[in-house]
Amino acid sequence: MTGKTALITGSAKGLGRRTAFELAASGCDVALNYVKSREEAERLAEEIRAMGRRALAIQADIAQADEAERLVSEVERALGTVDILINNAGPFIRERKLFADYRPEDIHYLMNGNLVGTMLLDHRVLPGMRSRGWGRIIHFGFGHAGEARSWPHRAVYAAAKVGLVSFTKTLAVEEAGNGITVNMICPGDIRGDNKEKGIAEVAGIPDEESPRGRPGTGEDVARVITFLCQPESDFITGNTIDVSGGLDPIRTSVKK
């Protein structure tokens, strides 16, 4: 994929950071995005440039329409048109609470950050991808998002991601003839520092909750993304792919 430009939202840390490394190792120039983690993003850009790739870090909150537009425009000025868009960023409220307890501003924030902002970014990069007859778009979901099951205490986040499942499938069909593939990655319960680790780093570490028996890592997710972005993967589109080691973390009932 030498010469391709990848834009990865929310890539200063975690799964986005690991994905940036994997795509750079595959030959891509990389545009990093962050909201607050400027130091981490700038350091990662330096590391990617040391690999012989072009890289830059841009601050933008994709939940804000004007900032999403500015993000893509800055990438185009610095690196050229976006060939690969990885929509990793998406706000998540860790506090578990019923939908009735959400504030209206929380609902808008989660929907804009996880659904509307992603759609606007896709819309912004599509003309360039169409003009070249080639593009790769990756959305992020959660385990079993494609089944649209209930997820108590995560009502708004789940609704946004399940809506994104339908959008993924629709956009994939609409753009397949233009050489653009659209898929969704659904990571399992990958925690803490493991989001940036490689598979070899967790070898021999047991995880009793995982049917696979080991913790998941950022490399597990990034390897699938890199595969989907390869030119030869053009027949794979409109899919939701769980990368979970077989774990189903969703509880569909509420204990009183």
Name the H helices within the chain: 14-25, 38-49, 65-79, 104-111, 117-132, 155-175, 218-229
pLDDT reading at 248 higher than 90: no
pTM for the whole structure: 0.95
What's the sign of the alpha-carbon dihedral 172, 150, 158, 30? negative
Residue 20 pLDDT exceeds 90: yes
**pLDDT average, residue stretch 222-245:** 97
DSSP sequence for 54-79: -EEEEE--TTSHHHHHHHHHHHHHHH
Task: Give the Cα-Cα-Cα angle 180, 182, 187 (nearest 5 degrees).
Answer: 150
pLDDT tens per residue, range 106-120: 999 999 999 999 999
- Supply the angle between the helices 65-79 and 117-132 in degrees, to the nearest 10: 30
Q: Tell me, what's the pLDDT at 250? A: 78
- Close Cβ partners of 108 (under 8 Å, ≥ 6 residues apart): none
85 vs 74: CA distance, rounded Å: 14
Average pLDDT, the chain: 94
Cβ-based neighbours of 253, under 8 Å, separated by 6 or more: 152
CA–CA–CA angle 26, 27, 32 (5° rounding)? 95
> Where exactly are the structural domains of the chain?
5-243
Q: Report whether 21 contacts 45 (CB < 8 A).
A: no
Query: What architecture (CATH level 2) is domain 5-243?
Result: 3-Layer(aba) Sandwich (3.40)
CA–CA dist 68, 123 (Å, integer): 10
pLDDT tens digits for range 130-153? 999 999 999 999 988 999 988 999
